[in-house]
Chain A
Amino acid sequence: MDWLTILLYVILLAIGWMSICGACYDYGETPNLFALSTRSGMQIVWIGTSMLLGAVILLLDDRIYDTFAYIIFALLLALLIATPFLAHDIKGSHSWIKIGPFSLQSAEFAKFATALAIAKFMSSYGFQLQGSWRNFLICCAFIFTPMVLIIMQKETGSALVYFSFFLMLYREGMPGSILFAGIAAVAYVVVGLRYADQQVLGDTTSLGTLLVLAIIHVFVAALLIVYTSPKTSDIQRLGEQRTAAVAFRQTMTATLLLTPLAAATIMGADYVMAHIADISPATQAFAQKNFGTDILPFDAALPLTVVLVALALRLIWIGFASHIYRYAYIALFALGSMAVFFSAHTMLDHLAEHQRTRVQVLLGLKDDPKGAGYNVIQAQIAIGSGGLEGKGFLNGTQTKLKYVPEQETDFIFCTVGEEQGFIGSAAVLGLFLLLLLRLIHLAERQTTDFGRIYIYCVFSIFLFHVVINVGMVLGLMPVIGIPLPFFSYGGSSLWGFTILLFIALRIDAARPMK
Chain B
Amino acid sequence: MAAKEPQLDYRKYVLAAAATAVIAVYVLRLFTLQLTSDDYKLRADSNALMKRIQFPARGAITDRNGELLVYNQPAYDIMVVMNEATDIDTLDLCESLGIDRQWFDRRMAEIKNTRGYSRHTQQLFMSQLSVEEFSNFQEKLFRFPGFYIQKRSIRQYTSPHAGHILGDIGEVSPADIEDDPYYQSGDYIGKQGVERSYEQQLRGIKGSEILLRDVKGRIKGRYQDGRFDQQPIPGKNLTLSIDLNLQKLGERLMHGKLGSIVAIEPATGEVLCMVSSPTFDPRTMVGRQRGRQHKALAADPMKPLINRSIAGLYPPGSTFKTSQALTFLQEGIITPDTRFPCSHGFHFRGLKVGCHGHGSPWPLVPSIGTSCNAYFCWGLYHMFGNREHYHSTQEAMTRWKDYMVSMGFGYKLGVDLPGEKRGLIPNAEFYDKAYRGSWSGLTVISISIGQGEVLLTPLQIANLGATIANRGWFITPHVVKEIQDTPLDTLYTHRRYTMASAANYEVVVQGMRQAVTGGTCRSANTTMYEVCGKTGTAQNRGHDHSVFMGFAPMHNPKIAVAVYVENGGWGATFGVPIGALIMEQYINGHLTEASQAKAETIENKVIAYGTYDR
Q: Is the CB of A449 within 8 A of B23?
A: no
Docked Cα-Cα span, A397 to B33, in Å, equals 17
Docked Cα-Cα span, A126 to B19, in Å, equals 31
Q: Is the CB of B4 within 8 A of A449?
A: yes
Within 8 A of B (CB), among A202-229: none
Q: Which of A167, A381, A417, A430 contacts B23 (CB 8 A)?
A: A430
Q: Which one of B4, B26, B49 has the greatest number of beta carbons of chain A within 10 Å? A: B26
Within 8 A of A (CB), among B1-56: 1-2, 4-5, 8, 11-12, 14-16, 19-20, 22-23, 25-27, 29-31, 33-35, 37, 39-41, 43-45, 47-49
Bits for B192-227, please: 1 = Cβ < 8 Å to A, else 0. Answer: 000000000000000000001111100011011000
Q: Is A102 an interface residue (CB 8 A)?
A: no
Q: Is A467 an interface residue (CB 8 A)?
A: yes
Which residues of chain A are within 8 angstroms of B212 by Cβ–Cβ distance? 27, 397, 400-401
Q: Which of B26, B40, B214 contacts A429 (CB 8 A)?
A: B26
Q: Is A383 an interface residue (CB 8 A)?
A: yes
Q: Is the CB of B221 within 8 A of A426?
A: no
CB proximity of A151 to chain B, nearest CB, Å? 25
Q: Is the CB of B41 within 8 A of A384?
A: yes
Q: Is the CB of A388 within 8 A of B35?
A: yes
Docked Cα-Cα span, A467 to B47, in Å, equals 28
Which residues of chain B are within 8 angstroms of A127 by Cβ–Cβ distance? 2
Q: Is the CB of A422 within 8 A of B23?
A: no
Count A-side interface residues using an 8 Å CB cutoff. 58
Within 8 A of B (CB), among A147-169: 167
Q: Which of B26, B48, B216 contacts A474 (CB 8 A)?
A: B26
Q: Is the CB of B34 within 8 A of A123?
A: no
Q: Is A490 an interface residue (CB 8 A)?
A: no
Q: Is A421 an interface residue (CB 8 A)?
A: yes
8 contacts between A and B (CB under 8 A): A28-B221, A125-B1, A173-B5, A400-B48, A417-B34, A433-B19, A436-B19, A476-B25
Which residues of chain A are within 8 angstroms of B8 by Cβ–Cβ distance? 171-173
Q: Is the CB of B20 within 8 A of A433?
A: yes
CB proximity of A421 to chain B, nearest CB, Å? 6
Q: Is A128 an interface residue (CB 8 A)?
A: yes
Docked Cα-Cα span, A223 to B35, in Å, equals 40
Q: Is the CB of B39 within 8 A of A384?
A: yes
Q: Is the CB of B30 within 8 A of A171?
A: no
Q: Which of A171, A381, A432, A467 contacts B44 (CB 8 A)?
A: A381
Which residues of chain B are within 8 angstroms of A459 by Cβ–Cβ distance? 15
Q: Which 10 A-B pairs have the closest CB atoms?
A: A384-B40, A385-B44, A27-B220, A397-B48, A401-B214, A384-B33, A422-B34, A385-B41, A433-B23, A27-B221
Q: Is A330 an interface residue (CB 8 A)?
A: no
Docked Cα-Cα span, A127 to B15, in Å, equals 23
Docked Cα-Cα span, A423 to B603, in Å, equals 83
Q: Is the CB of A449 within 8 A of B2?
A: yes
Within 8 A of A (CB), among B111-164: none
Other A-B pairs beyond A397-B212, A426-B30, A429-B27, 20, CB < 8 Å: A27-B214, A123-B1, A170-B15, A171-B11, A380-B33, A383-B30, A384-B33, A397-B45, A398-B44, A400-B212, A401-B48, A402-B215, A417-B30, A422-B35, A430-B23, A440-B19, A444-B12, A466-B23, A474-B26, A475-B29
Docked Cα-Cα span, A448 to B4, in Å, equals 9
Which residue from chain B places its CB closest to the CB of A168 in the assembled complex? B15
Q: Is the CB of A474 within 8 A of B5?
A: no
Q: Is the CB of B220 within 8 A of A425?
A: no
Which residue from chain B places its CB closest to the CB of A123 in the assembled complex? B1
Q: Which one of B1, B4, B20, B30 has the greatest number of beta carbons of chain A within 10 Å? A: B30
Docked Cα-Cα span, A398 to B47, in Å, equals 8
Q: Which of A28, A130, A388 contacts B34 (CB 8 A)?
A: A388
CB proximity of B410 to chain A, nearest CB, Å? 60
Q: Is the CB of A384 within 8 A of B5?
A: no
Measured CB to CB, the residues of B under 8 A from A are: 1-2, 4-5, 8, 11-12, 14-16, 19-20, 22-23, 25-27, 29-31, 33-35, 37, 39-41, 43-45, 47-49, 212-216, 220-221, 223-224
**A-B CB contacts (within 8 Å), total count:** 142
Which residues of chain B are within 8 angstroms of A388 by Cβ–Cβ distance? 34-35
CB proximity of B51 to chain A, nearest CB, Å? 14
Which residues of chain A are within 8 angstroms of B35 by Cβ–Cβ distance? 387-388, 422
Q: Is A470 an interface residue (CB 8 A)?
A: yes
Bits for A440-467, please: 1 = Cβ < 8 Å to B, else 0. Answer: 1001100011001000000100010011
CB proximity of B15 to chain A, nearest CB, Å? 6
Q: Which one of B15, B44, B220 has the greatest number of beta carbons of chain A within 10 Å? A: B44
Q: Is the CB of A383 within 8 A of B27?
A: no
Q: Is the CB of B44 within 8 A of A397?
A: yes
A128-B2, A170-B11, A397-B212 given; A422·B221 CB < 8 A: no
Docked Cα-Cα span, A432 to B19, in Å, equals 10
CB proximity of A190 to chain B, nearest CB, Å? 15
CB proximity of A391 to chain B, nearest CB, Å? 9
CB proximity of A369 to chain B, nearest CB, Å? 10
Q: Which of A130, A171, A426 contacts B12 (CB 8 A)?
A: A171
Docked Cα-Cα span, A31 to B68, in Å, equals 50
Q: Is the CB of B30 within 8 A of A425?
A: yes
Docked Cα-Cα span, A466 to B27, in Å, equals 13
Q: Which one of B14, B23, B47 has the greatest number of beta carbons of chain A within 10 Å? A: B23
CB proximity of B136 to chain A, nearest CB, Å? 30
Q: Is the CB of A387 within 8 A of B34?
A: yes
Q: Is the CB of B15 within 8 A of A422?
A: no
Which residue from chain B places its CB closest to the CB of A392 in the assembled complex? B224
CB proximity of B611 to chain A, nearest CB, Å? 61
Within 8 A of B (CB), among A353-396: 378, 380-388, 395
Q: Is A26 an interface residue (CB 8 A)?
A: yes
CB proximity of B225 to chain A, nearest CB, Å? 11
Q: Is the CB of B221 within 8 A of A167?
A: no
Q: Is A437 an interface residue (CB 8 A)?
A: yes
Within 8 A of B (CB), among A14-37: 26-28
Q: Is the CB of B34 within 8 A of A401?
A: no
Which residues of chain B are within 8 angstroms of A182 by Cβ–Cβ distance? none
Within 8 A of B (CB), among A396-416: 397-398, 400-403
Q: Is the CB of B19 within 8 A of A385?
A: no
CB proximity of A428 to chain B, nearest CB, Å? 10
Docked Cα-Cα span, A148 to B171, in Å, equals 67
Which residue from chain B places its CB closest to the CB of A395 in the assembled complex? B224
Docked Cα-Cα span, A382 to B40, in Å, equals 7
Which residues of chain B are within 8 angstroms of A48 by Cβ–Cβ distance? none
Which residues of chain B are within 8 angstroms of A230 by Cβ–Cβ distance? none
Q: Is A268 an interface residue (CB 8 A)?
A: no
Docked Cα-Cα span, A41 to B44, in Å, equals 28
Q: Is A471 an interface residue (CB 8 A)?
A: yes
Docked Cα-Cα span, A16 to B325, in Å, equals 96
Q: Is the CB of B40 within 8 A of A380?
A: yes
Docked Cα-Cα span, A27 to B29, in Å, equals 30
Q: Is the CB of B1 within 8 A of A448?
A: yes
Q: Which of B27, B39, B215 contacts A401 (CB 8 A)?
A: B215
Docked Cα-Cα span, A459 to B181, in Å, equals 60
Q: Is the CB of B47 within 8 A of A381?
A: yes
CB proximity of A389 to chain B, nearest CB, Å? 10
Which residues of chain B are within 8 angstroms of A436 by Cβ–Cβ distance? 16, 19
Docked Cα-Cα span, A459 to B18, in Å, equals 12
CB proximity of B328 to chain A, nearest CB, Å? 77
Docked Cα-Cα span, A353 to B16, in Å, equals 36
Which residue from chain A places its CB closest to the CB of B49 in the assembled complex? A397
Docked Cα-Cα span, A181 to B212, in Å, equals 50
CB proximity of B352 to chain A, nearest CB, Å? 81
Q: Which one of A26, A381, A382, A444 has the greatest number of beta carbons of chain B within 10 Å? A: A381
Which residues of chain A are within 8 angstroms of B23 by Cβ–Cβ distance? 429-430, 432-433, 466
Docked Cα-Cα span, A201 to B1, in Å, equals 60
Q: Is the CB of A383 within 8 A of B215?
A: no
Docked Cα-Cα span, A26 to B221, in Å, equals 10
Bits for A158-200, please: 1 = Cβ < 8 Å to B, else 0. Answer: 0000000001001111000000000000000000000000000
Docked Cα-Cα span, A498 to B174, in Å, equals 64
CB proximity of A230 to chain B, nearest CB, Å? 22
